[in-house]
Structure 1
Amino acid sequence: MLEDSFGRQFHYLRLSVTEACNFRCQYCLPDGYDGPSSDQFMSLSEIDTLLQAFASLGTSKVRLTGGEPTLRRDFIDILQLTANTPGIERVAMTTHGARMEKYASQWKQAGLDQVNVSIDSLDPRQFAAITGQDKLKSVLRGLDAAVSAKLEVKVNSVLLNDFSDSRLQRFLSWLKDMPVTLRFIELMETGDLSQFFSKQHQSGSPLKTTLENMGWQPIVPRKDAGPAQEFYHPDYAGKIGLIMPYSKDFCKTCNRLRVSAPGKLHLCLFSENGIDMRDLLAKGDVQEVVTFLKHALGTKHATHYLHEGKTGATKHLAMLGG
């Protein structure tokens, strides 16, 4: 089992397979993607070596992310490879959802268990203004397709300063009959968007108080769960989660590591610049990668230092998928 010097064990790998994305979300890529080309990202064989190494060290959950992971032409191959790696018990992915209506069943058949979809508003005009794409109706049809395919569905919504009570009420009405988990995520500062962060950051604490006053009750998380505090209400088919990276002791229960599409190990989403492991992956020597991972984990810090304005290598969230 991978364990750091603070006694935290790591069951969960967030694996970015591309940095490219065709949405233009205000808080991520407002000017569109202008990064490395696809030939600079890990190959299928390099991903295979990486997965075997992590699985041998006790990793049981892998999330495929990006950018938009489905933009890779070999995405289905990556998905099948991940699901068929011995030791990997749960496969998830994060997507903007625009391709989900067509492919949800195919992803399920390839081994996907869970899908997280970004929806920052249920108002079509507001959704288009935030994402740069007028595709809310298509994404919502994709959610229905994912639920029908028996995928566990979570919806991510970033809290911005214009988040209003009316937007919350619209989401709550939707959750009455929609069996998904809606997670509200505090905006996190990145290197390219520090001014946007200072204008738009909103704490999730007042929202948590509002939900508790409405009778929402906490859910005990699984060992491989992410950082969300999740809640249920007996009158709602859906659940609600809150991800508050600026809250006290947020990093205390960290259980996940990240690998970027170019093959860098990131011990944290923030606070460091990534450790290049591409040469090791290209060799295909699983044991050598295992040794590297054990050594690298000894340098993981206790916290992300976001409170100090340190964003590490993360210029924008598409680099590591959040």
Structure 2
Amino acid sequence: MQNDSLPPRSGLLAFPPDNAAAIALPPGAGPLQDGHGRRISYLRLSLTDRCDFRCTYCMAEDMTFLPRHQVMSLEESLRLSRLFVGLGVTKLRITGGEPLVRRDALWLLERLAALEGLKELVLTTNGSQLERFAAPLARAGVQRLNISLDSLRPERFRAITRIGDLHQVLRGIAAAQAAGFRRIKLNTVMMRGTNDDELADLVAYCMAEGLDIAFIEEMPLGDLGHGRSGTYFSSDEALLRLQERFPLQASDESSGGPARYWRIAGSETRVGFISPHSHNFCDTCNRVRVTATGELYPCLGQNDATPLLPLLRRHPEDDEPARQAILRTLGMKALGHDFTRQLDAPQVVRFMSATGG
């Protein structure tokens, strides 16, 4: 039996504030909304803080990972997901760390795919395990994959990931295509002086392989011992650079997340930009995050969170305490964040791998 007493963590609230109770809805009464009237239909659920890479923008080189008893069991992850779907969430993204290093992750994915009311089950991965798992993931019911890829140059890729093998990831992408996945999307974190000279090459690769790509402005999460102002590369600058090589056309398409897309004439490839600095998308935010330790974060750019795991363990046969905590927590969801002012002094000191990618 797992211990239900978790040590206090910085930024956590023992319970959501009472002034959030007014937005609580009885089960089945309607869709989730936050205190600003935004519909919440998208949950990003982390299975683990562990990863087989050590990407420089995501975690420290020498990481200390969580002890097992602090991490949700797969059964607890399923129980919490069922609660969110019952409250109106229709899209579920499984993240990490690297979710495919979690033992028996396929067991959970099969059961998540069967949840009544869930319309989309997607997974974010670094691609390292896809050569082995792509076909089983498709059989389990995962519908789409996002694959992190920040460089097509082997030595540079290893420098960014500290550990990763580019060719292993490329074989994983090929395995995912062979398994029947469509609209595979690459995620590339843009870093000035590191990979900003490869943006066009990455788009060309996606066009040749029939992939989509999203370029992401680096977010100041976690204390890496240095600021990000020197490496920050904006979506606007990236767009201008890409337009020198490709005939990009603005599109109103959406994948249900924060990316804003452009099309390339004569190609199926979509080029997206996720711009938490230059084009804040908070006004349309439809998502919340649950970490591998069961902490519900209404906003990636804030420290406020509610620990749900103690409620699950304290009430193993009663979902109502966790359900009410979820509903009340939405009242904490901030109207927006300001990452730009935090480039060299991050207010969110947890690493991205701890929150869920």
Q: Tell me if TM exceeds 0.5.
A: yes
* 1:34 lines up with 2:64 in the alignment: yes
Deviation at 1:44, TM superposition (A): 2.1
Are residues 289 and 172 of structure 1, via their aligned partners in 2, closer, same or farther at CA, if it must alter by over 3 Å? Answer: same
* 1:167 lines up with 2:202 in the alignment: no
Deviation at 1:212, TM superposition (A): 4.9
Structure 1 equivalent of residue 229 of structure 2: 198
Are residues 58 and 40 of structure 1, via their aligned partners in 2, closer, same or farther at CA, if it must alter by over 3 Å? Answer: same
**Selected match of 1:68 from 98, 101, 106:** 98
* 1:217 lines up with 2:252 in the alignment: no
> TM-score, with normalisation over the residues of structure 2?
0.84
Question: How far, CA to CA, are the matches of 2:346 and 2:168 in structure 1?
Answer: 33
- Write the letter of the residue equivalent to 2:259: A
Question: How far, CA to CA, are the matches of 1:254 and 1:114 in structure 2?
Answer: 20
- Write the letter of the residue equivalent to 2:155: R
Are residues 239 and 32 of structure 1, via their aligned partners in 2, closer, same or farther at CA, if it must alter by over 3 Å? Answer: farther
Structure 2 equivalent of residue 257 of structure 1: 288
- Write the letter of the residue equivalent to 1:219: S
Question: How far, CA to CA, are the matches of 2:350 and 2:328 in structure 1?
Answer: 26
Deviation at 1:119, TM superposition (A): 0.8
Task: Give the number of the structure whose alpha-carbon radius of gyration is greater.
Answer: 2
Q: What percent of counterpart residues are identical?
A: 34
Are residues 308 and 271 of structure 1, via their aligned partners in 2, closer, same or farther at CA, if it must alter by over 3 Å? Answer: farther
After superposing the two structures, state which structure 1 stretch, 262-271 or 286-295, moved more: 286-295
Matches within 5 A, 1:105-144: 105-144=135-174
Structure 1 equivalent of residue 3 of structure 2: none
**Selected match of 2:278 from 243, 247, 269:** 247
Structure 2 equivalent of residue 270 of structure 1: 301
> TM-score, with normalisation over the residues of structure 1?
0.93
SS at match of 2:208: coil
SS at match of 1:242: strand
After superposing the two structures, state which structure 1 stretch, 145-154 or 106-115, moved more: 145-154
Number of aligned residues: 321
Structure 1 equivalent of residue 207 of structure 2: 176
Are residues 165 and 195 of structure 1, via their aligned partners in 2, closer, same or farther at CA, if it must alter by over 3 Å? Answer: closer
Question: How far, CA to CA, are the matches of 2:110 and 2:63 in structure 1?
Answer: 27
Deviation at 1:249, TM superposition (A): 3.9
Unaligned runs of 5+ in 1: none
* 1:318 lines up with 2:318 in the alignment: no
- Write the letter of the residue equivalent to 2:107: D
- Write the letter of the residue equivalent to 2:84: F
Pairwise CA RMSD: 1.9
Unaligned runs of 5+ in 2: 1-30
2:249/2:265 contact within 8 Å kept: no
Question: How far, CA to CA, are the matches of 1:312 and 1:113 in structure 2?
Answer: 35
1:23/1:29 contact within 8 Å kept: no
SS at match of 1:177: helix
Matches within 5 A, 1:85-100: 85-100=115-130
SS at match of 2:173: helix
- Write the letter of the residue equivalent to 2:144: Q
SS at match of 1:51: helix
Structure 2 equivalent of residue 13 of structure 1: 43
Deviation at 1:318, TM superposition (A): 0.4
Question: How far, CA to CA, are the matches of 1:169 and 1:133 in structure 2?
Answer: 25
Structure 1 equivalent of residue 176 of structure 2: 146
Question: How far, CA to CA, are the matches of 2:279 and 2:265 in structure 1?
Answer: 29
Question: How far, CA to CA, are the matches of 1:280 and 1:221 in structure 2?
Answer: 39
After superposing the two structures, state which structure 1 stretch, 9-18 or 226-235, moved more: 226-235
* 1:304 lines up with 2:334 in the alignment: no
- Write the letter of the residue equivalent to 2:78: D
